[in-house]
């Protein structure tokens, strides 16, 4: 369904309720309440609920600028359409792992979708010690199915190229290019870090071999249209409970290297592994291990059962593709570790550590781990070797 309201105007609680009424989602005469619950940098998020039944829906509206900076950083409103289309496309393959989209309005940059308020944001839950036993299984399946089914290994070339054009997202890709792959490796004004990290940060800026590998990873991001990516798959883009997992916010979606989504997710788990101790750390380590194992086994099964192309059954080819994805994954994870520590957009996993001495010590470990993953990504033969490297950096 597409709504008919025209011309962009920021929603208020009152206008969000009127929009919800027009969708006939709620019973006639229902007493509706609205609350703006967005805590990100790019959007308003209104939760509309029926005060009697508790039934709800979400109205998400893209802002024409980044809240973290203000109107001096304008952003395209097209990202709302890209997000809705990405949810729908990924929903073709993993309907149980993404929210349902009820309606869209391109002029207002609005997506109306399923209310997931019975779940919690995975980042918050993990920080609070939640185990989320199904998280890695679900995300491994989400990654395998979305990345495989939108790739050349599953699609006719015409359809793949049509989708790549549909999901052209240059404005938001530029944000990623700058904030993940460029700015943290140079003395750039967007960087943000404590004075106690100055020496470690300057060492990164002066590390020629590290910057060379970061440049290679950026080139991959810029040029390799392998699959339809979520584009911003961190633990803050996932709702979860013990039983359910839902991936949200694919407004950065575009066609890029398959390892990018996997790397961002694993990078955020690695931050958790570094900041946790004991059994809680072991639970996250298991998620790191299981995410890759579920992804790789599911991807290979899809290749065998549904793969297309003349070279599909050529001995060694699927192993070559999987090895390439794995090496990219590890490198992208390393970039995510560095940018979340010294770049513009930090994470509560680190910044929320109250003891300043412990916070600086752990941030240094995250930086060291990120550097090692980037530089050594082609020397690490397995996810077990990656975990060993992470654990070694903690000692």
Q: What is the pLDDT of residue 69?
A: 64
What pTM value is reported for the model?
Answer: 0.95
- Among 84, 114, 144, the domain boundary falls at 114
In which domain, by residue range, is 146 found?
120-394
CA distances to 99, 281, 338 from 89, rounded to whole Å, are 12, 34, 31
Q: What is the pLDDT of residues 229-246, one digit of tens each?
A: 999 999 999 999 999 999
Claim to verify: residue 192 and residue 255 sit in the same structural domain: yes
Report DSSP letters for 304-359, one per residue: HHH--STTTTSTTHHHHHHHHHHHHHHHHHHHHHHHHHHSSS--HHHHT---HHHH
- Identify the CATH number of the domain in which residue 219 sits: 3.90.1200.10
Contacts of 225 (CB under 8 A, 6+ apart): 164, 255, 256
Claim to verify: residue 194 and residue 131 sit in the same structural domain: yes
Q: How many domains does the chain have?
A: 2
Instruction: Specify the 3-state DSSP secondary structure of 95.
Output: helix
Claim to verify: residue 179 and residue 273 sit in the same structural domain: yes
- Among 114, 144, 168, the domain boundary falls at 114
Contacts of 167 (CB under 8 A, 6+ apart): 82, 85, 86, 228, 253, 254, 255
Asked if residue 7 is part of any domain, the answer here is: no
Asked if residue 4 is part of any domain, the answer here is: no
CA distances to 275, 337, 339, 360 from 347, rounded to whole Å, are 12, 10, 10, 14
- Among 58, 88, 114, the domain boundary falls at 114
Residue 380 Rama label (left phi>0; alpha psi -120 to 50; beta): beta
CA distances to 154, 164, 221 from 158, rounded to whole Å, are 12, 10, 22
Contacts of 145 (CB under 8 A, 6+ apart): 93, 94, 298, 302
Claim to verify: residue 277 and residue 254 sit in the same structural domain: yes
pLDDT in tens, the chain (395 residues): 555 445 899 999 999 999 999 998 999 999 999 999 987 668 999 999 999 999 999 999 999 987 666 666 788 999 999 999 999 999 999 999 999 999 999 999 999 999 999 999 999 999 999 999 999 999 999 999 999 999 999 999 999 999 999 999 999 999 999 999 999 999 999 999 999 999 999 999 999 999 999 999 999 999 999 999 999 999 999 999 999 999 999 999 999 999 999 999 999 999 999 999 999 999 999 999 999 999 999 999 999 999 999 999 999 999 999 999 999 999 999 999 999 999 999 999 999 999 999 999 999 999 999 999 999 999 999 999 999 999 998 77
Q: Are 46 and 11 in contact (CB under 8 A)?
A: yes
Q: What is the pLDDT of residue 1?
A: 53
Q: Are 287 and 131 in contact (CB under 8 A)?
A: no
Query: 56 phi and psi, to 5 degrees?
Result: -145, 170
Instruction: List strand residue ranges (DSSP E) for the chain, in order.
Output: 32-36, 43-50, 56-62, 65-66, 70-74, 101-105, 110-114, 120-121, 227-229, 238-240, 245-247, 254-256
Claim to verify: residue 46 and residue 177 sit in the same structural domain: no
Claim to verify: residue 69 and residue 174 sit in the same structural domain: no
Q: Which of 104, 56, 61, 64 is nearest to 84 (CA)?
A: 104
Q: What is the pLDDT of residues 15-40, one digit of tens each?
A: 999 999 999 899 999 999 999 998 76
Q: Which of 84, 129, 140 is nearest to 302 (CA)?
A: 140
Report DSSP letters for 364-387, one per residue: HHHHHHHHHHHHHTTT--SHHHHH
Q: How many CA atoms lie within 13 A of 123 on its CB side?
A: 21
Claim to verify: residue 160 and residue 282 sit in the same structural domain: yes
Report DSSP letters for 181-207, one per residue: TTGGGTT-TT----GGGHHHHHHHHT-
Q: What is the pLDDT of residue 4?
A: 47
| Structure tokens, 385 | 């070797």
Claim to verify: residue 196 and residue 76 sit in the same structural domain: no
């Amino acid at each position: 369904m597409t709504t008919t309201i025209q011309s962009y105007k920021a929603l208020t609680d009152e206008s969000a309720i009127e929009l919800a009424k027009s969708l006939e989602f709620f019973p006639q005469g229902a007493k509706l309440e609205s609350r703006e619950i967005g805590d990100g940098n790019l959007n308003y998020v209104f939760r509309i609920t029926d005060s009697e039944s508790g039934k709800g829906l979400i109205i998400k509206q893209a802002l024409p600028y980044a809240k973290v900076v203000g109107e001096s950083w304008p952003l395209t409103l097209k990202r709302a359409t890209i997000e809705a289309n990405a949810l729908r496309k990924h929903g073709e393959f993993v309907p149980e792992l993404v929210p349902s989209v009820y309606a869209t309005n391109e002029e207002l940059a609005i997506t109306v979708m399923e209310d997931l308020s019975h779940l919690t944001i995975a980042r918050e839950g993990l920080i609070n010690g939640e185990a989320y036993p199904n998280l890695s299984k679900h995300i491994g399946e989400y990654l395998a199915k979305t990345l495989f089914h939108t790739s050349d290994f599953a699609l006719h070339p015409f359809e793949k190229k049509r989708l790549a054009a549909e999901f052209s997202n240059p404005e938001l890709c530029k944000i990623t290019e700058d904030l993940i792959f460029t700015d943290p490796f140079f003395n750039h004004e967007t960087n943000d870090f404590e004075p106690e990290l100055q020496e470690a940060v300057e060492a990164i800026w002066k590390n020629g071999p590290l910057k060379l590998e970061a440049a290679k990873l950026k080139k991959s991001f810029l040029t390799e249209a392998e699959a339809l990516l979520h584009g911003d798959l961190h633990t803050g883009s996932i709702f979860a409970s013990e039983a359910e997992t839902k991936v949200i916010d694919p407004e950065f979606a575009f066609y890029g290297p398959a390892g990018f989504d996997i790397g961002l997710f694993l990078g955020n788990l690695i931050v958790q592994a570094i900041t946790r101790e004991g059994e809680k750390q072991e639970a996250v380590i298991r998620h790191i291990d299981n995410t890759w194992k579920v992804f790789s086994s599911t991807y290979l099964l899809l290749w065998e059962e549904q793969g297309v192309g003349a070279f599909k059954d050529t001995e060694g080819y699927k192993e070559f593709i999987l090895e390439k994805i794995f090496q990219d994954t590890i490198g992208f994870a390393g970039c995510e570790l560095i940018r979340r520590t010294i770049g513009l957009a930090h994470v509560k996993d680190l910044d929320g550590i109250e003891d300043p001495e412990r916070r600086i010590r752990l941030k240094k470990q995250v930086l060291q781990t990120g550097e090692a993953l980037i530089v050594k990504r082609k020397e690490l033969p397995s996810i077990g070797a990656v975990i060993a490297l992470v654990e070694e950096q903690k000692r």
